[in-house]
Structure 1
Amino acid sequence: MTAIDTAIRATAADIELIGVTKAYDAKTTVIPPINVALRPGEFTVVLGPSGCGKSTLLQMIAGLERVSGGKIVIGGREVQDLEPKHRGCAMVFQNYALYPHMTVAENMAYSLKVAGVSKADRAQRVGVVAKMVGLADFLPRKPGQLSGGQRQRVAIGRAIIREPGVLLFDEPLSNLDAQLRHDMRVELADLHRRIGATSVFVTHDQVEAMTLADRILILNKGLIEQFDTPKAIYHHPASVFVAKFIGAPPMNILAVTGDGSALRLADGQVVANYADKGSFQLGIRPEDIAVNAGGSIKAEIRYREDLGSHEILETNIADQNLRITMPFGAEIDTEQTLSLSFPRARLHLFDSETGRAIHNAFDDAKTAPTFVKEYQ
């Protein structure tokens, strides 16, 4: 472990947002009051669709956007009224924002130069960080002589060299091609294990979120839908929004009606036993559906998608779309009617009005439905 690794790990700070809100005018509230705590040394991914407020949230932490209300506490210190340079954060942008006339070494060392760090110390720290991000052989080059992935490494190195307690990433991989994005995910994960900085990473890409995060904070129109580990979010989504946003293909959501003994589709097919009455939304992952001759649920195949390692069947069930993931080589006749079973332990039930998940819906010992915690 280098001195820089040790310094960053020692300064890793917790982040607490207390009633933080952002509004541009009386009619335009981007982020309603939000309350969340990020642990020191944790890699948090803020995930959501375009326009959900995730970049705005990150910029408020960094100090690039003023909060309209509430408090931002970093390492026990209120920072919402401090300038960005006094917050102990470093940020990596989607746009690398490198100085084209400077070399890699000069770009990485610039913030140290402005801070009055001696030339010898700057050179020593640049050497350590360049080796850390795989740029030791590229220090004399200028940004125009680098690939996209290498330029992104320069931007990351420039942030790390300041030894920040908090690292902020605003969709840093979105300009890279698929292979480079994969490679950079691996490198970022390895880097985080080494330096242990509190990291907040904004993306709309669920693969980045699932592979990088200790915990994922999912935003929808400025509201937190769920904040949990990748595994918990995948297997126990807190809402229909989360269930449909996470997974490729996403969870199937079917409109069903409870008659007091079972949940039925619009055509009367029973999909599960259930004691409550009312309208619900039933969720099941495509890979959890069992295709077998003894299945009581019938579906018509509409389309078959061969992806090499597996196949995805697009089917119609009671005028609703249902996706099924099948292993490669499954013997399925596209003209046949499928017989399906929905394993009870793999089912998810959501309230039809709020879209929130109902806990223990299929636990036979339950006494009453319990809804997933609301964050706001």
Structure 2
Amino acid sequence: MNAIDPAIHVAAANIRLDGVTKTYGKLPVIPRLDVEFRAGEFTVVLGPSGCGKSTLMQMIAGLERVSGGKIMIGEREAQDLEPKQRGCAMVFQNYALYPHMTVFDNIAYSLKIAGMTKAERRVKVELVAKMLGLTEYLGRKPGQLSGGQRQRVAIGRAIVREPAVLLFDEPLSNLDAQLRHDTRVELAELHRRIGATTVFVTHDQVEAMTLADRILILNKGEIEQYDTPKTIYHRPASVFVAKFIGSPAMNVLPVSGDGSVLRLSDGQPVAESHLRGDFQLGIRPEDIAVVGTGGASSFNARVRYREDLGSHCILAAELSGTTIRITTPFGSEVPDRNVIFFTFPLRRLHLFDAVTGKAISGAFGAVTKEQQ
């Protein structure tokens, strides 16, 4: 990790939303939101299309007015301030560069509007260009650049103002897979170097998991979970989070408890539990342990198809009327037959309420099948 560059380090500000709501007519997009983004952290706002994440971003930037509640940026109440008064800079999905201007002039434009001298502008632009690998392109126009280079120009235009808050609205969506990977690395490095509070909106879980200090997962304008990537992956707070994070997604199976044992819908026992009623059992594909032969300690399922991806293999199999996916690592022996046997390690099981979808802790007792 590189040290923060003192020449471009900014005074990061925390962002707090107190009871923020947003409605369009009678349609609530964000019913009520109470959340704080910590100063200097890289926070990713993640969720499916239409969940309210871009609206949230635009309300912080001042491009959308809040319908209710309060936005604090640092120590200032900001919901009624104009965008230029908030100390934020925003990078959009479509770059929004001036096509008739050179890279230098695109990056320097906000400094020029602010009244900075030509000499001062040159120093700052050259510093940012060097950081982003754009020095040799300063004399070119956007039409002469690749998509990745144009995105870096847009980022440069944002950070040259030394904002306390950097906002990214799905900035990598227009890039191909390899370029998205490379730009993710550049963004992570950039954040470490400048130290600004960064809020990054995306629907891509890979971007979220690789970039974020913490992830805010939205569902229909409400917070499903707000935590570190590791916690969200290994301890999802709901079925929605469990299925949204992970590729392939977590397997979720209906189970019922009689006060002593949890059983699948076909009656097979999974684990001892004191719970009664209907629940949803979750286990990630990579946590299922394939075994060579069947027996009292294992489940069995018919394989519908397999995907050999080189680094790992994904099996789709039928268990208790539900299709589950099993991921096996490179080099492991996967039986080449229609029926496979496997176990569910108890420490890897998750249980969720059948109605609310919320995670239930302390649900399991001893294992009824040998799963450790």
TM-score range, shorter chain: over 0.9
- For the pair 1:127 / 2:126, whether they are aligned, the reply is yes
Aligned equivalents of 1:336, 1:144: Cα separation in 2: 54
Q: How far 1:296 moved relative to its partner? A: 2.4
- For the pair 1:12 / 2:15, whether they are aligned, the reply is no
Q: How far 1:25 moved relative to its partner? A: 1.0
Q: How far 1:275 moved relative to its partner? A: 1.7
Aligned equivalents of 2:330, 2:84: Cα separation in 1: 54
SS in 2 for 1:110: helix
Specify the alignment match of 2:324 in structure 1: 322
String of CA shifts for 1:299-345, please: whole Å, max 9, x gaps.
11111110001100000001101110112344434434222211111
Give the aligned residue type for 2:19: G
Give the aligned residue type for 2:285: P
Aligned equivalents of 1:332, 1:163: Cα separation in 2: 54
Specify the alignment match of 1:267 in structure 2: 266
Answer yes or no: is the 8 Å Cα contact 1:271–1:297 preserved in 2.
no
Write out the 4+ residue segments of structure 1 that deviate beyond 6 Å after TM superposition. Answer: none
Answer yes or no: is the 8 Å Cα contact 1:345–1:362 preserved in 2.
no
Answer yes or no: is the 8 Å Cα contact 1:16–1:37 preserved in 2.
yes
**CA RMSD, aligned part only?**
1.2
Specify the alignment match of 1:374 in structure 2: none
| TM-score normalised by the chain length of structure 2 | 0.95
Aligned equivalents of 1:108, 1:56: Cα separation in 2: 26
Aligned equivalents of 2:124, 2:335: Cα separation in 1: 63
Specify the alignment match of 1:225 in structure 2: 224
Specify the alignment match of 1:177 in structure 2: 176
SS in 1 for 2:340: strand
Specify the alignment match of 2:369 in structure 1: none
Alpha carbons of 1:158 and 1:17: their partners in 2 closer, same or farther (altered >3 Å)?
A: same
Q: Which moved more, 1:276-285 or 1:263-272?
A: 263-272
Aligned equivalents of 2:130, 2:330: Cα separation in 1: 42
Q: How far 1:192 moved relative to its partner? A: 0.4
Give the aligned residue type for 2:355: E
Specify the alignment match of 1:369 in structure 2: none
Aligned equivalents of 2:239, 2:70: Cα separation in 1: 30
Specify the alignment match of 2:370 in structure 1: none
Q: How many residues align?
A: 360
Specify the alignment match of 2:32 in structure 1: 33
Q: How does 1:8-87 map to 2 (within 5 A)?
A: 8=10, 11-26=11-26, 28-87=27-86
SS in 2 for 1:238: coil
SS in 1 for 2:49: coil
Specify the alignment match of 2:210 in structure 1: 211
Specify the alignment match of 1:258 in structure 2: 257
Answer yes or no: is the 8 Å Cα contact 1:301–1:334 preserved in 2.
no
Aligned equivalents of 2:172, 2:144: Cα separation in 1: 19
Q: 1:307 aligns with which of 306, 309, 334?
A: 309
